[in-house]
Amino acid sequence: MPPKLGRPKKSDSEGTKEEVAKRKYMRDYNAKILKDINDLSKMELECNQELAEIKQQKKELEKQYKKSLRMVEDANKQAEDILKEKTKNKK
């Protein structure tokens, strides 16, 4: 494993109590930020998957809508033809 870049971390025994406390705070703070970034990345992936599923469902619903619309149009056309034929016979 290649050595890490940057200067090495100071141990907790180096420096005054205030400096040690500040270093600990910054380490915890940076660790929390990294954890939050990872959580947000996971949530983003989940949302993208859910969005893809929703888009697929939308496409399926649009297909069903078009199919039912064609069926209604065909039924209306048949009813119109029957009505025209009945009115011709009465004249």
Residue pLDDT, tens place only, 26-43: 999 999 999 999 999 999
Alpha carbon 88 to its chain's center: 59
Two tokens, residue 64: 């069903």
* Largest Cα–Cα separation, the chain: 110
6 against 24, higher pLDDT: 24
Question: What pTM does this model have?
Answer: 0.59
CA distance to 10, 56, 69, per residue, from 64 (Å): 66, 13, 8
Residue 67: CA count within 13 A, CB half-sphere: 6
- By the 8 A CB rule, do 36 and 23 touch? no
